[in-house]
Amino acid sequence: MDKTSLEHIVYIDNTNYLDDKSDYTYLPQNLVLELISLSKKIEFAILDYKFYPTIEQMDNNYSSNQLTSNNIFIPRIEGTYFALKFKIEIDKQIHIKEASKLKDYNKESTSTNFDYHKHTTFIFFDYFIREIDNLLIICNLAHPGSLYTLTGLGYFNNNPTICNFQTRNHHLEHIQFSKNTLWPKLDNIDIIKCWAWYTNNRGIFTGEQNSNLCRAASAYSLTLGEQCRLNEHITLLWSMIGIESLFKSSNTANLQSIRSQLKLNIESMLGTYSLSSKIINSMYEIRSNFLHGGLNFPGLGHVAHENSRLEKNRREIKETISASICILTSALQYIIKHELCDIHFNYKVTISEKPHI
């Protein structure tokens, strides 16, 4: 079949990985090998990888034209780097068909110089970038805190273009909560298993599926975004939306009942923890103060440590935010490991009995 190939070299930060040996370490070789193994099973291939210890070496490699691909993308990130070269193949007939549809849609346009074929190429390119974003989300579910990217300048068909990855945050600091408390447990799951679950649940991050899991997964993906990187209170909002999507019954209205229900359901899935009630109560208190008053936050372009009072508040609520991220991540890992497509809790009449998943 006649194909059009697009290749991109993507540089990803690999310093933000937490394992059992140390708090901060390089991305382990096995994760790279998992990614390469995965590439044989999906629509884009990871052709090669290379480590760069500094951004200067990466920039020198790029500026000296050692990268031969016409289509490359270099996110601006910090730390130690490894490069993954991605390739996607597009059926030319589909490409032509999409260009024709676009041309028919814009047939009343007065422009005579619009290149519909080129425009649909960029549509495919955008899809390609979104799929890599999905891969980065899956990497963070498989190996929490592992990968993130920042904005970069790319070259596509020798034309400079800004192509932004959206996965611009990581949960490294939050994951430390699980390591310290041993609850909830966070595992390292094979990426191939995670990607298989994702492909069986296409649309899980797009909001297309009308399910509790879709809502929770979308909320989790948003905790990896730029907004949550800049404001951790937003991280709490999205993580609580994900937690309530999985663990709250839709017909529960009373706040105290919701808190009790969350405790029962969370512990039935993730195990018991002596401070779970305290954490859940703190989550709702912080969220209420953030939304309705009582909790200040820095404005655009400012950070909490500029103000000693805000910094004090930040230290007090950080553990609660970390706990909420760990609860949501651990729950999604449970769902992936058990290959579930959605989740519901069934209640028996006797209040003393725990709900069943």
Residues 181, 118 share a domain: no
Residue 244 falls inside a structural domain? yes
- The answer, yes or no, to whether residue 8 has pLDDT greater than 90, is no
Q: For residue 36, what pLDDT is reported?
A: 58
Same domain, 62 and 84: yes
In percent, how much of the chain has pLDDT > 70?
A: 52
Whether 71 is in a domain gets the answer: yes
In this structure, are 15 and 151 located in the same domain?
Answer: yes
Total domains present in the chain: 2
pLDDT value at residue 115: 65
Report d(CA 185, CA 52) in Å as an integer.
Answer: 32
- Using a 10 angstrom Cβ sphere, with 0-12 exposed, 13-18 middle and 19 or more buried, the burial of residue 38 is buried
DSSP state letter for 19: -
Q: Is residue 315 domain-shared with residue 227, that is, in the same domain?
A: yes
In the chain, the DSSP E strands lie at 3-13, 44-52, 72-75, 81-91, 152-156, 159-162
Q: Degrees (nearest 5) of the Cα angle 24, 235, 180?
A: 40
351 domain residue, yes or no: no
CA atoms within 13 A on the CB side of 120: 19
**Any domain includes 7:** yes
Same-domain check for residues 258 and 297: yes
Is residue 195 within 8 Å of 247, Cβ to Cβ? no
Taking CA 187 as the corner, what is the angle to CA 75 and CA 329, rounded to the nearest 5 degrees?
A: 65
pLDDT digits (tens, 9 = 90+) for 23-72: 333 344 555 566 656 655 554 444 344 444 444 454 555 443 344 444 44
Task: Pick the more confident residue, 206 or 35.
Answer: 206
Q: pLDDT band for position 317 (50/70/90)? A: confident
- Residue 102: predicted pLDDT: 61
328 within domain boundaries = yes
pLDDT of res. 186:
95
Which two structure tokens, joined as six digits, stand for 312? Answer: 């004090």
What is residue 145's DSSP assignment? Answer: T
Q: Which residue in 220, 212, 243 sits closest to 327, CA to CA?
A: 243
| Residue from 43, 39, 19, 44 nearest 29 by CA | 19
Give the least confident one: 113-127, 170-184, 324-338. Answer: 113-127
Q: Could you report the per-residue pLDDT of 221-270, keeping only the tens digit for each?
A: 999 988 888 888 899 999 999 999 999 987 766 888 899 999 999 999 99
Q: Which residues contact 74 (CB under 8 A, 6 or more apart)?
A: 9, 10, 11, 58, 62, 152, 153, 154
Q: With respect to residue 8, please indicate whether it lies within any of the assigned structural domains.
A: yes
Q: Does the residue 346 lie in any domain?
A: no
CB atoms within 10 A of CB 341: 13
Whether residues 88 and 184 fall in one domain: no
Whether 79 and 177 map to the same domain: the answer is: no
- Most confident of the ranges 101-105, 171-175, 282-286: 282-286
208-229 CB burial, b ≥16 within 10 A, e <16: ebebbbbbbbbbbbbbbbeebb
Model confidence band, residue 19 (pLDDT cutoffs 50, 70, 90): very low
pLDDT, tens digit (0-9, with 9 covering 90-100), for 115-131: 655 666 666 666 667 77
- Token pair 């195990």: residue: 271
Residue 236 and residue 153 share a domain: no
**pTM (global) more than 0.85:** no
Domain, as residue range, for 272: 173-190+201-337
Q: What is the mean pLDDT of the chain?
A: 71
Are 32 and 150 found together in one domain? yes
In a domain, 331, yes or no: yes
